[in-house]
């Protein structure tokens, strides 16, 4: 998986760089977590387009498994996309709850991600 390391405030961030779906399984997430963490990242940014559509169907269990891995390995995650198009109430509740806790955030833009990181960790 191709990602770019950069710093936002005091945080080392790994931003996934791909136009393809690269997170198709929990194993894919573990690879990303391991590689980015080894390089010093404490926060990963991925895009909606990079995640299997199964993630957004909560009945598959993929979202819960994937996010559990990020939680277990203490890696913060931001997912950038337009989540308003999803009509599932349970998915909307899931996104709301994730954003409330704050370790995994569903945001609309890179600017929102950077603002969120800076609000938590400062300059």
Model confidence over 81-106: pLDDT tens digits? 999 999 999 999 999 999 998 899 99
Q: Which residues contact 57 (CB under 8 A, 6 or more apart)?
A: 88
Q: How confident is the model at residue 120 (pLDDT cuts 50, 70, 90)?
A: confident
Mean pLDDT of the 67-90 span: 94
The confidence score (pLDDT) of residue 1 equals: 77
The confidence score (pLDDT) of residue 102 equals: 83
pLDDT tens per residue, range 15-63: 999 999 999 999 999 999 999 999 999 999 999 999 999 999 999 999 9
pTM for the model: 0.94
- Going by C-alpha positions, the residue among 107, 120, 119, 98 that lies closest to residue 15 is 107
* Residue 123 pLDDT greater than 70, yes or no: no
Neighbours of 45 (CB within 10 A): 26
Neighbours of 88 (CB within 10 A): 13
Rounded distance, CA 44 to CA 113, Å? Answer: 10
Rounded distance, CA 25 to CA 101, Å? Answer: 24
């Amino acid at each position: 998986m191709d990602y770019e390391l950069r710093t936002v405030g005091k945080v080392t961030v790994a931003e996934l760089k791909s136009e393809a779906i690269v997170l198709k399984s929990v194993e894919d997430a573990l690879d990303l977590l391991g590689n980015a963490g080894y390089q010093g990242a404490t926060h990963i940014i991925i895009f909606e387009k990079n995640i299997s559509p199964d993630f957004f169907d909560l009945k598959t269990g993929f979202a819960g498994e994937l996010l559990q891995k990020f939680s277990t390995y203490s890696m913060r995650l931001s997912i950038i996309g337009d989540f308003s198009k999803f009509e599932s109430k349970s998915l909307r509740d899931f996104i709301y709850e994730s954003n409330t806790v704050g370790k995994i955030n569903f945001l609309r833009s890179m600017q929102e991600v950077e603002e969120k990181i800076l609000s938590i960790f400062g300059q």
